[in-house]
Structure 1
Amino acid sequence: MSHSTVPSPPVTSGPARRHGLPALATAAAVALGALGLAAAPAFAETPAGADRPIRFHHQRLDWHGCKTGPDDRAGASLDAAGAQCAEVTVPLDYRRPGGRTISVAISRIKATDPAGRRGVLLTNPGGPGGPGLDLVASLAQWSPALTSRYDLIGMDPRFTGRSTPIRCGWKTDVFLRSAGPNRRTFNESAALMKELAAKCARGNRDVLPYASTRNTARDMDVVRAVLGEPKLSYLGYSYGTYLGAVYTQMFGARADRIVLDSAVNPDTYGPGLLSGNEPAITAALRNWAAWAAAHDKDHGLGDTTTEVLATVNHVNRAAARRPLRIGGYRIDSHHIPYLLFGPLYEDGEKAYADFATQVRALADATRGTVVTAPPSLKASLDSLFTGTGALDAQAPIICADRAASRDPETYFRDIQAHRADEPLYGPLIRNITPCAFWPTAPVEAPTKVRNGVPVLVVGNDGDPGSPYLGQQAMHRALTGSRMVTLRGAYRHATYLGAGNSCVNTTVERYLIDGVLPGGDVTCVKDVTPAG
C-alpha cells in the first residue's frame, strides 16, 4: 500500500514516480523483538501443491516489440532500450491449475556481456498495483554493471498494466482519503469507500480472490521456469519488498540474490499498515519545512521551521471550513492530508522546491480566490479526481492479502483516540478503506515471513513511506539478511534513487559479485561502507 515508486536517477530533472497509495508503501512502526527467529530454517519450504502446475513451466514464449501504439510511452522506452516483451500464461487459481488461465506480461533486456551473464534479475517498482514492465529500461540506463551481468526482467504483476488488467471504473487512481475533522466527514469517506468497493465488484468478482501477493509470487516462479533458470534474482522496491519476501518464503530454494529496498513490515502489510506511520511522516514533513524556511525568499512559507509548519496547518484547517478552489477542483479536508503526504517520498532539491510551490498554491487558495495549480500539484489532483485506471489493481491486491475490519466504528474510534497527537496525518493513515466493504474474502491466510534465505535489505532511517522500524522488522524476519542503511535521508527508494555511492556500491557488489556484507552496513553521503 505505497506509492508505486521507481527511483529517480542520481542526476535528472525530476522524480520518476507513479502515484499509488503512499505507505507503500509502508509498514507499521512496532518492532518485533527476537521471537526465536534464530531458529528459522535456512530456506523456506515450498508448500505442498506449489509445483502442481508444472505444465506452465514448459511453455514457449513469443518475444516481440514492446510498443503497442503511438501513445505507449512505456513501450517506446522499452523498445529504445533494446527490450523485448512476451506474455506468460499462468493459472488464475493455482489450486485448480487445469482451470481458467490469465496472461502475465514480461519484458527482457538481455545481458550485454553474454560470456559473463549469471542469470536473470526480476524487478518490481512497488505499488501494489503498479505496472513494472518499463523499470528495466531505467535500470539499464542507471546501472550498466547490472545490465552486463543479468538479463533484466520486468513484469506487470497479475491484474496490472498488460497482465489481464482489472478495471474498477473508479474516477480516482488513489483511494486514500482523510476522514476529516468530525463524524460527518468520516461518514462521507466511509460512503466513498463503500461505493468504490461496489464498483470494483462489478464485472470482477470472479477474479478478485486471486489477486493476492502469494499468487503473484507463484507467477514469478512460473516466469523463472519458463525462462529456463534454476534460480531467480530479484530487486523490489516498497510493496515489491513484501512480494520478494513472500517469494523467499514460498520458494526459498529457488531464490538467488535478493535485494529489498524500502522494506515494509511483513507482519502488518495489508489494509491497515499505514496506521503506525505518523512519526516518520511528521519527521519528513519537518525536514522539508526546515528546507522551506531556508528558502523563504523563494516560496514565502515562513522563515523558520515552526512558521512553515504553521502555514501547513493553516491550509489544513482552512480546507476543513470550506473547500479550496484549485483550477477546476474543490479541495477539502479529505484531500489536503494526502496532498501533504505524497510529495514527501523524495527529498532532493527539486522535489522539495516542487512541494513548496504546491503548498504556496494551497496557502494562496485559503484566501478564497481560484488558484492555478502548478504542474506537480495538477498531476496529483488529476490522479485524485479523474483517474486513469492505472492503479485499479491496488485495492484488489491489498484486500486479497489480508482481511480488514468490516465495522466502521473501529476506524472512527481509532482516529478519535489519536486525533490529539496525530491531527494532520492520523485521520488519513487510520481511515477506513474499500477493504472494509470488499465483496470477497482472502482465500489464503497472510504469509508469515520467517526464513534464513540470504537477502540484502536496503533503506534509510527517515523513510516516510516504509518507516525504519518496519524495515528492521523485515530484516529480523529474514534471519539470513543483511541491512544497509543510509542515515539522514528522508525519502522512499534508496538504491539508485538516493544517488548515494556507498549504498549503490554495496548493492551492486552483492548482485554482481555475490558478496553479502558480513554484517549490517551504515552509509552516509558518499563515503565507503561502515560495517
Structure 2
Amino acid sequence: MRLRRRTLLLGCLWLLTACGSRSGAPDPVDAEREAALARFREQAVAWAPCDPSIFPEVLLEPLATLGDRLECATLRAPLDWEVPEGEAINLGVLRVRAGDEAARRGAILTNPGGPGGDGLILGALLGLVFASNGGAELGFEAAAPELLGAVSSAYDVVGFSPRGVGGSFRLYCGTNRRAEPPGFYTDRSPENVQALLTLGERQADACLNTPLSQYINTEQTVRDMDLIRTVMGDEKLNFLGYSYGSWLGAWYAKRFPQHAGNIVLDANVDFTATFEAIFNDFVRGFERAFREVALPFAARNDAVFGLGGSADEVYAVYDGLPEDLKAVLVQGSLSIFAALYSSEAVPDIALTLVAARGVDEALEAFGDTLTLDNFDAFAALVGEQTYAEDAFVDELARTYALTLAQDYLLYRDFLENGPYPVELPPEGAVGTAVTCNDAPWPQGAEHYIRRGNEAHESYPLLGGALTAEPCGFWGAPTAAMPETPSEMAPILMVQTGFDAATPSEGALRAFDSLPNAALIYIENELSHGAFPYNTACVDAAVAAYLLDGTVPQTRVQHCDARPLPGETQVYPPGGVPRPAAARVSAQALLRPAAHHPLYGLLHDTVRQNAADFFGRGQSSPWSR
C-alpha cells in the first residue's frame, strides 16, 4: 500500500513538473511535505524535571547535585521520515544543561550502543561526570578535570531513547508460534542445528508480523537525531557514541555532513562492512580475548587459581566441561562472555573457571539427574568441595559454584519444558530490526548452517551461535548507509587493541575509510569502550576535541594501556608466565582498589548494551 502511494506521488510530481514548470507555480507535493515537516521541526520542547524512577537508585543522590540542569522531554517525530504527513511517534530525550548558558556552544548527543540501548542513563551519567570536573568532585581519579569541566560549562549533554526502546515508543516482537529451546550452540548435531535455525526463523517472523519494524533502522534514527539538533536550535550536532553508536555516528556524519560537528566514536564497529561481516569479527574477537588475554592471566597467576601454568592448560579446564555447564558458564549469571567486555573482570573469568571445575566434579560425584527436589542435597555437596589452596580464593569460588549450580538447574529445567512462545522485548526487537534493516543478509538456511559450523570450528567459544540468525529469514533491508561525502568534518575515533566485541581489525578498516579522521589507540587494552579512561593521553585528547574540535597532532595517537587488576605491567597478547618470586596475593587480584561506583556504572551501561544485543538471538532462561 505504501509503495503504491509513493508511486502515485512520484507520478503526480512528474506531471506537475512537466506541466507546471512553465508557469513557475509552487509544487503542491513539496509544499505538503514541507508543511508536514514543519510541525516537527518547529515544535516547542517542554523541558521538565525527569521522573526519578527511570534512574538506578545509586544515581539519585549524585544526580540531585545537578539541580535544575537535569531535564527531560518528549519530542514528536514522524514514524516514517519519507512520509512526514503520516503517523507520529514519541522520542524520549534527557539533557544536562550547559553550566554557563550565556556561553553555550551547543549540545553533545550520546549513544550507548546496542542497537537497542536506551541512552537516557548514559546521557545523565556523562553529564554528571563532566559537570563534576571529570568526576573529580565525586571521587573519581579524573585525568582531565579542567577540560571536562569546561565541556560541561559550554555544552548540554544529551541522552535519548532511540525509536523502539526506553522513553520513546516501544517495539515488541511476538508470535503464538512456539519454538523448542535449542541446546548450547556447540552441539552441531543436525537436530540442534535445526533448532537453532528454527529459533532464528521464528524470531524474524515475530518481528515481521509487527508493521512498525520496517521503520526501525539507522536511517530513521539519524533523522530523529537531526530533529533533536533542530529543535534545540543548534547548527551542528556533536556526538559521543559507543559500539553500535559508532555505526550510528558515522551514518549521521555521512547523511548530514553540513551539520556534523565534533563526532567521537568509541569501540568502533567496521562501518564500511555489513552486519554479517561485523558478527564474524565479533566471534573471532571474543575467541582471541579469551585465549590471549584471559587464559594467560590465569596461567600467570597459577599459584592463586591452580588452573595450570599455560594458557593451553587453562583452556583444557574449560574445554573439558560438559556442554550444559559450558552454556551456563558462557550465558548465565556469571557469564565469562560478559566478563570479556572489561579488563577489570578478567580475574572473575579465572575464578569462575575454578568454580565450574568444582561443580563438574560435584555433578560426577552426585550421580543422579539434578532436579528441584534433590537440589538441596546437590548444593550441600557443592558446598563441601575444596576449590583452591588459598582460603580466600576457596571461599569466593564456593560462592560462585553455588550460583553456577542454581543456574545449571534453571537451564536444565528450561531445556526440558519447551517449546516456548517466541517473544522479543524492546531491546532485542530493536536490535534485530536494526541489524536486519540496515544492511543485506544472505537469505536461507543452508548459508547459516555452513556459517555456524565453520565459525564453531575456528572460534568455538561463540561461533556456533551464528546459526541462529533472524536476519537470514528477514528479506531485503529497508535502509542503506550513505556514501562517504567528499568533505566531512574530522572525526575522532577511540579504540582498544583487544576489544572483543568490536575488534581492532574492523575498527582500523573503518578508520582507513576516513582520510581526515584521527585515532586514539590503546594497543593492549581489552575493555569495550574506553572513554573516560582515567589517563591524560586518552581523556585530555577527547575532552579537547569535544570542547573545540582540536584533534591530536598525529593521525594516530598511541596511548598506554593500564595493567590488568593486581598486575604491575602490561603483557602483550598471549602474555608470559609470571616468575614464581613475583606472586601476587589473591586479594590484590580479586579485590583490587575499586573505581568509584558511578565510573563502573558508566562503563557497564555501554558494555551491558553490547552483551544484551548479542544475546537477542539466543534462547536461554536469561534471555526471557
**Aligned counterpart for 2:120 among listed residues 133, 141, 148:** 133
Do structure 1's residue 347 and structure 2's residue 343 form an aligned pair? Answer: yes
- Who is 1:147 aligned against? 152
| Per-residue deviation, 1:105 | 0.4
Using the size of structure 1 for normalisation, the TM-score is 0.77
Equivalents in 2 of 1:176, 1:94: separation in Å?
42
Deviation at 1:194, TM superposition (A): 2.1
Kindly provide the amino acid, as one letter, of the partner of residue 523 in structure 1.
Answer: C
Out of 356, 360, 365, the residue aligned to residue 359 of structure 2 is 365
Q: Is residue 65 of structure 2 the alignment partner of residue 67 of structure 1?
A: no
Aligned residues of 2:330 and 2:336 also touching (Cα < 8 A): no
User: What is the 5 A alignment of 1:303-382?
Assistant: 303-315=309-321, 318-319=322-323, 323-324=324-325, 331=327, 339-348=335-344, 351-367=345-361, 368=363
| Counterpart position of 2:617 | none
Q: Distance in 2 between matches of 1:51 and 1:358?
A: 60
Indicate the residue corresponding to 2:229 in structure 1: 224
Q: Who is 1:289 aligned against?
A: 295
The CA deviation at 1:396 is: 1.4
* In 2: Cα distance, 1:450 partner to 1:383 partner: 50
Greater relative contact order structure (CA < 8 Å, 6+ sep)? 1
C-alpha RMSD of the superposition: 3.6
Q: Count residues in correspondence.
A: 459
Aligned residues of 1:271 and 1:433 also touching (Cα < 8 A) = no
Q: Give, in angstroms, the shift of residue 409 of structure 1.
A: 0.8
Residues 1:177 and 1:265: Cα distance change in structure 2 (over 3 Å)? farther
5+ unaligned residues in a row in structure 2: which ranges? 1-32, 134-147, 367-377, 383-398, 415-422, 563-624
Could you say what secondary structure the match of 1:324 adopts? helix
Q: CA deviation at 1:308?
A: 1.3
Query: Relative to 1, partners in 2 of residues 1:450 and 1:56: Cα closer, same or farther, differing over 3 Å?
Result: same
- Aligned pairs for 1:158-237 within 5 A: 158-169=163-174, 178=185, 180-202=187-209, 205-237=210-242
Alpha-carbon separation, structure 1, partners of 2:262 and 2:481? 24
1:411 aligned to which of 448, 469, 475 = 448
Find the structure with the greater CA-based Rg: 2
Contact 1:266 1:448 survives alignment (8 Å): no
Q: CA deviation at 1:361?
A: 3.3
2:437 counterpart (400, 414, 423): 400
- Pair 1:333–1:123, CA change in 2 (3 A): closer
Q: Which of 488, 492, 498 is the equivalent residue of 2:524? A: 488
Judged with a 3 Å threshold, the aligned counterparts in structure 2 of structure 1 residues 65 and 233 are, in CA distance, closer, same or farther, namely same
Among candidates 66, 73, 78, match of residue 91 of structure 1 = 78
Superposition TM-score, scaled by structure 2 size: 0.66
Provide Cα deviations, 1:3-49, integer angstroms capped at 9, x if missing partner: xxxxxxxxxxxxxxxxxxxxxxxxxxxxxxxxxxxxxxxxxxxxxx9
Give per-residue Cα distances to partners, 1:132-180, cap 9 Å, x unaligned: 00112221343332322210000110101111011225999xx997363
Q: 1:279 to 1:50 in 2, by over 3 A?
A: farther
Checking the alignment, whether the CA contact within 8 Å between 1:75 and 1:134 is kept in structure 2 is no
**1:433 pairs with 455, 466, 469, which one?**
469
**Deviation for aligned residue 1:278:** 4.3
Structure 2 contact 45–73 (Cα < 8 Å) conserved: yes
| Superimposed CA distance per residue, residues 310-368 of structure 1 (whole angstroms, 9 cap, x where no aligned partner) | 112223xx21xxx339xxxxx479958x94433211112xx122223333333333332
The one-letter code sitting in structure 1 at the alignment partner of 2:152 is: T
Decide whether the 8 Å contact of 2:358 with 2:401 is kept in 1: no
Q: Please give the per-residue CA displacement for 1:404-440, whole angstroms capped at 9, x wherever unaligned.
A: 2221111212333454433333223x333112223x6
Match of 1:55 among 39, 42, 45: 39
Q: Evaluate the alpha carbon distance shift between residue 256 and residue 401 of structure 1 in structure 2; reply closer, same or farther with a 3 A threshold.
A: same
Shift of residue 249, structure 1, vs aligned partner: 0.7
Q: 1:434 to 1:248 in 2, by over 3 A?
A: same
Match of 1:454 among 466, 472, 490: 490
Counterpart of 1:57, as a letter, is R
Q: How does 1:462-501 map to 2 (within 5 A)?
A: 462-496=498-532, 498-501=533-536
Write the letter of the residue equivalent to 1:399. Answer: C
Distance across 2 between alignment mates of 1:363 and 1:374: 9
Call closer, same or farther: CA 1:55–1:93 in 2, change over 3 Å: same
Equivalent pairs: percent with the same residue? 29
SS in 1 for 2:173: coil
Distance 1:182 1:437 in 2: 21
Relative to structure 2, which stretch is displaced further, 119-128 or 462-471? Answer: 462-471
Provide the C-alpha distance between the structure 1 equivalents of 2:295 and 2:541, rounded to a whole number of angstroms: 31
Q: Greater share of helix residues, 1 or 2?
A: 2
Q: For residues 429-454 of structure 1, give each alpha carbon's deviation from its aligned partner in whole angstroms, at most 9, with x where no partner exists.
A: x333112223x642233444455331
Q: 1:193 to 1:281 in 2, by over 3 A?
A: same
User: Any idea what SS the aligned residue of 2:240 has?
Assistant: strand
Partner AA of 1:324 in structure 2: L
Q: Letter of the aligned partner of 1:356 in structure 2?
A: A
Alpha-carbon offset, residue 383 of structure 1 = 12
Farther off after superposition, 70-79 or 147-156? 70-79
Q: Which moved more, 1:269-278 or 1:255-264?
A: 269-278
Answer yes or no: is the 8 Å Cα contact 1:105–1:162 preserved in 2.
yes
Q: Distance in 1 between matches of 2:158 and 2:356?
A: 41
Q: Which consecutive residues of structure 1, in runs of 5 or more, have no partner in the other structure? A: 1-48, 326-330, 527-531
